[in-house]
Amino acid sequence: MDHITTNHIERKAYAKINLGLDVLRRRSDGYHEVKMIMQTVDIWDRLTFKPAETPGIELSADDKTLPLGKDNLICRAAELLMEEKGIRQGVKITLEKNIPVAAGMAGGSTDAAAVFHGLNELFGLSMDMEEMKRLGVRIGADVPYCIMGGTALSEGIGEILTPLPAPPQCVLVVAKPDCNVSTKFVYENLHADTLKEHPDIDGMVLAIRKGSLEGITGRLGNVLETVTAKAYPVIEEIKRKMKEEGAWNALMSGSGPTVFGMFRERESAQAAAEGIKNAGLARQVFVTRFYPDRQ
Ligand code: ATP
């Protein structure tokens, strides 16, 4: 099929945090069965898509530390999609990176998700969400969620998704300490069968459905902290600092090392963000919110 286009598409790729993350067991194939609450936040990368004269995928990025070839999830997603859909026209993709890298915020997965949406529009492919999610899981377990966005319960290896209403709005401080954490390292060092405590994910789902912010803040929990926070004490220091400055509660996101705190007021959130930067605990610090708003 020939898809000739001259359009120019721009798309924001939103980061996620985990309000809850539990690992139920390690499967015999090595994958971990998870139960997670995913939540998009208003921190985003910007991707642009333009048709190119020559065939192939040409990626450029403002972050010079990122790979630009097949190791970038953007190229892998574009290649998979163009091969599946028989697209011979080339595409130029630019990436403005704002989401902290190797941080537990699904930066790569959300960029891949934006590629499915962006190329769907650029080449007029008329793929629905389900088709994009089916292709997306071939790139990574978190990609189907990123294609959907919002608030969701994620089960299986991350591909079984139940959409939830957005939680009531609050002010978030998101702080990424200077260490980079590999997701592989964290899961390899997790002893899923000997975990003594599990977060109350079912209770969290009910609290979200009821719109109870207290029910949510009271249940924040992430079993991966047992690995990452042990290896990087700065994570507990940031959580402590956030709570000292008035956060309802604070938690590490995903495999870390990013920590987020939930605040009632913008002033105390701003003070926490400044305090974290001034104490040298993290350089990448955002004061942000859930995205999108609760309807
Ligand atoms: P997750 O929360 O899904 O574990 P993460 O935030 O921990 O993700 P990423 O930011 O996706 O991790 O990056 C992990 C690695 O993937 C990086 O070391 C980076 O080199 C590589 N990578 C490939 N493509 C991208 C991309 N588009 N953006 C960021 N990193 C990418």
Per residue in 48-64, pLDDT tens?
A: 999 998 999 999 999 99
> What is the model's pLDDT at position 79?
98
> What is the model's pLDDT at position 219?
98
pLDDT of 20 over the 60 cut: yes
Per residue in 61-82, pLDDT tens?
A: 999 999 999 999 999 999 999 9
Residue 105, ligand 1, Cβ within 6 A = yes
- Quick check: 284 and 176 in contact, CB under 8 A? yes
**Distance between CA atoms of residues 76 and 139, nearest Å:** 7
Tokens 């709005």: give the residue.
169
Contact partners, residue 83, CB within 8 Å, separation at least 6: none
Contact partners, residue 2, CB within 8 Å, separation at least 6: 88, 89
Pick from 279, 226, 215, 219: which is nearest to 255 by CA?
A: 226
**Distance between CA atoms of residues 74 and 46, nearest Å:** 12
* Candidate from 1-10, 173-182, 225-234 with smallest mean pLDDT: 1-10
Residue % of the chain over a pLDDT of 90 = 92
pLDDT of 148 over the 60 cut: yes
Q: Of 44, 72, 96, 232, which is best to mutate to test ligand 1, by the most ligand atoms within 8 angstroms of its C-beta?
A: 72
Report how far ligand 1's centroid is from the alpha carbon of 3 (Å): 30
* 215, containing H or E segment: helix 213-217
Atom of ligand 1 nearest to the CA of 183: 4
Per residue in 122-146, pLDDT tens?
A: 999 999 999 999 999 999 999 999 9
pLDDT of 285 over the 60 cut: yes
Which residue's CA is the closest to the ligand 1 atom numbered 24?
72
- Per-residue confidence band for 4, with pLDDT thresholds at 50, 70 and 90: low
> What is the model's pLDDT at position 1?
46
Residue 255, ligand 1, Cβ within 6 A = yes
Cα-based angle 273, 279, 282 (whole degrees, multiple of 5):
60
Residue 13, ligand 1, Cβ within 6 A = no
Separation of CA 122 from chain center: 24
Per residue in 204-261, pLDDT tens?
A: 999 999 999 999 999 999 999 999 999 999 999 999 999 999 999 999 999 999 999 9
**Distance between CA atoms of residues 215 and 220, nearest Å:** 9
Atom of ligand 1 nearest to the CA of 73: 24
pTM: 0.95
Contact partners, residue 26, CB within 8 Å, separation at least 6: 32, 33, 192, 193
Does the annotation count 142 as an active-site position? yes
pLDDT of 97 over the 80 cut: yes
Classify residue 214 as exposed, middle or buried by CB count within 10 Å of its CB (0-12, 13-18, 19+).
exposed
**Distance between CA atoms of residues 91 and 53, nearest Å:** 8
Does the annotation count 16 as an active-site position? yes
**Distance between CA atoms of residues 204 and 37, nearest Å:** 8
Residue 183, ligand 1, Cβ within 6 A = yes
